[in-house]
């Protein structure tokens, strides 16, 4: 095992997803994940506090990107335009690895209550980050919270479509997410 090989974090995520798919989350140990990734257990724990956190790797980065996009939206942007700016910024961090792993990650989450709970906490955290950024822009809390909820729903719907679509590697996540946001905006307008 190379002690300082680059890409250990990414290798750990891929190894974990592979093992969770092959033998289930509960049957997979940290030692197995580290071995599959070609690193030591101590390297594992430098990157992740436990195996549950592997499937939400990058959550802090995603929260930061969502918030930055909202903060940097033009001053006259509507709440949903600011959310769209955050979604575009966050989408830029998603690449082929995210797209390829997504179906297996979702299968692992669907098969394990503990991971479902962790995924729900991730959604709450991302929504809170967006809400805080919108409140910083001067929006009242109920408006910020609703816009954030729509944004997270759009991100999840767009990501699911993007990761499940036949692709040539050229289509970007942002297009799927923005289309989902437009759809949700139209549906919410029809609610009366």
In a domain, 2, yes or no: no
Buried b (16+ CB within 10 A) or exposed e, 22-60: eeebeebebebbbbbbebeeebbeebbeebeebbbbebe
Give the residue carrying structure tokens 């729509």: 150
pLDDT at 66: 96
pTM of the predicted model, to two decimals? 0.84
| HSE of 39, CA atoms in CB hemisphere, 13 A | 25
Confidence of residue 101 (pLDDT cuts 50, 70, 90): confident
For residues 45 and 117, state if they share a domain.
no
Specify the CATH number for the domain of residue 124.
1.10.357.10
Owning domain of residue 131: 58-189
For residues 41 and 82, state if they share a domain.
no
The 8 Å CB, 24+ separation contacts for 63-69 are: 63/125, 63/126, 63/129, 64/129, 65/89, 65/90, 65/92, 65/93, 66/90, 66/126, 66/129, 66/130, 66/133, 66/151, 67/129, 67/130, 67/132, 67/133
Average pLDDT in the 51-60 region? 80
In a domain, 27, yes or no: yes
pLDDT digits (tens, 9 = 90+) for 126-137: 999 999 999 999
pLDDT digits (tens, 9 = 90+) for 79-97: 999 999 999 999 998 888 8
For residues 77 and 164, state if they share a domain.
yes
In a domain, 1, yes or no: no
For residues 98 and 169, state if they share a domain.
yes
Average pLDDT in the 101-123 region? 87
For residues 130 and 183, state if they share a domain.
yes
pLDDT digits (tens, 9 = 90+) for 23-44: 988 899 999 999 999 999 999 9
Alpha-helix residue ranges (DSSP H) falling in 137-172: 141-164
In a domain, 3, yes or no: no
For residues 38 and 99, state if they share a domain.
no
């Amino acid at each position: 095992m190379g002690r300082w090989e680059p890409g250990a974090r990414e290798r750990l995520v891929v190894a974990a997803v592979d093992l969770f798919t092959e033998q289930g989350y509960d049957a997979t140990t940290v030692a197995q994940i580290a071995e599959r990734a070609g690193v030591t257990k101590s390297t594992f724990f430098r990157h992740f506090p436990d195996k549950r956190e592997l499937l939400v790797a990058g959550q802090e980065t995603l929260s930061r990107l969502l918030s930055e996009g909202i903060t940097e939206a033009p001053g006259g942007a509507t709440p949903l335009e600011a959310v769209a700016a955050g979604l575009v910024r966050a989408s830029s961090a998603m690449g082929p690895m995210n797209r390829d792993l997504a179906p297996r990650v979702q299968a692992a989450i669907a098969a394990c209550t503990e991971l479902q709970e962790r995924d729900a906490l991730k959604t709450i955290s991302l929504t809170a980050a967006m809400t805080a950024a919108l409140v910083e822009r001067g929006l009242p809390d109920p408006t910020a919270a609703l816009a954030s909820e729509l944004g997270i729903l759009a991100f999840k719907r767009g990501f699911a479509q993007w990761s499940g679509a036949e692709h040539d590697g050229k289509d970007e996540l942002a297009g799927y997410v923005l289309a989902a946001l437009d759809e949700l905006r139209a549906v919410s307008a029809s609610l009366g």
